[in-house]
Amino acid sequence: MQTIKPYENYDEALNALDNGGRFYNLFTKADDGIITTAEIGKTAGVFSDKQQSILFLEAALLKLNQNDKNKVLSKLEDKLKTVYRTFKPQYLLPSEVSEKGKIASGLIATGIPKLIDSKTDFNGFIIIPIMVGKVMTMTMIPIYETYDVYEFRDGKTSQSFIIAHSKSKNKLLENEITIAGIIKELKTSKEENCKTRKFLEITHIIAD
C-alpha cells in the first residue's frame, strides 16, 4: 500500500508520466509526448501488474478536470489505452459496493473507516496461494491474520462494506479518506458452498 498525491494539473501529470521508464527500457524516451506501459510502471512502482498500474494512474489523475484528464489519456500509447479500458476502476459509494461492485475489479471510493475489533463475532476467510513443494495450491485463512479489517461507510446511509488494510501499516483514523484497491471475495466459513461477501483490499491511500 502506498499513498498517492494526485497531480494538480496537466503539465505536472505529463512531466511525471512521460519519464522514459527504467534504465533497461531502451526504446522508451522521456518527454516524447507518448506515455508507455513501462513509464506508468516506473511511476507506479510496479513491474508487470497492469491492473495495479492503471489503478495508480486513475488515482493520480483524480484531481484533474475532465479536459486535462482526457489530454493525459490521449498521450497513452495504443496498447496502453486498451489496458486502461480493460482495468479502469469503478467509482462507487461504500453503500453501493455490495450490489454494484465487481469481483476482481479496481475501485476508488471515499468514506469513513471504523476498525472492527478482532474479538467480535465477525468471521471471514480469504483464499491465498501457497507452495506445497513445487506445486501451487490455494488455502483459506482468517482475514485477521493478514489484515486490519474496517467497516467503510459514506455517512449518507447505514450501509457499509468491508475494507482490509495491511497489518504492517499504521491503522486508519476514523476520518473521511479516499482509497483505491481491488474488490475481492470474503467467505463466511471454510465450507465450500458457504455464503460470501465483497471486501476491498486496499492498495493506495489518496492524499487530499
pLDDT tens digits for range 46-104: 888 999 999 999 999 999 999 999 999 999 999 999 999 999 999 999 999 999 999 99
Structure confidence at residue 121 (pLDDT): 62
User: How many independent structural domains does the chain possess?
Assistant: 2
Residues 101 and 19 in one domain: no
Degrees to nearest 5, angle at CA 14 with 12 and 16? 70
pLDDT tens digits, 138-156: 778 888 888 999 999 987 7
Q: Where residue 192 falls among pLDDT bands split at 50, 70, 90?
A: confident
Rounded to the nearest 10 degrees, the angle between the axes of helix 37-44 and helix 78-87 is 50
Residues 99 and 165 in one domain: yes
Structure confidence at residue 14 (pLDDT): 95
Residues 107 and 72 in one domain: no
pTM comes to 0.89
Residues 15 and 81 in one domain: yes
Residues 66 and 168 in one domain: no
Q: Which domain holds residue 84?
A: 2-88
The residue to which cell 458457504 is assigned: 194
Yes or no: say if 72 and 113 are a contact pair by the CB < 8 Å rule.
Answer: no
Structure confidence at residue 114 (pLDDT): 93
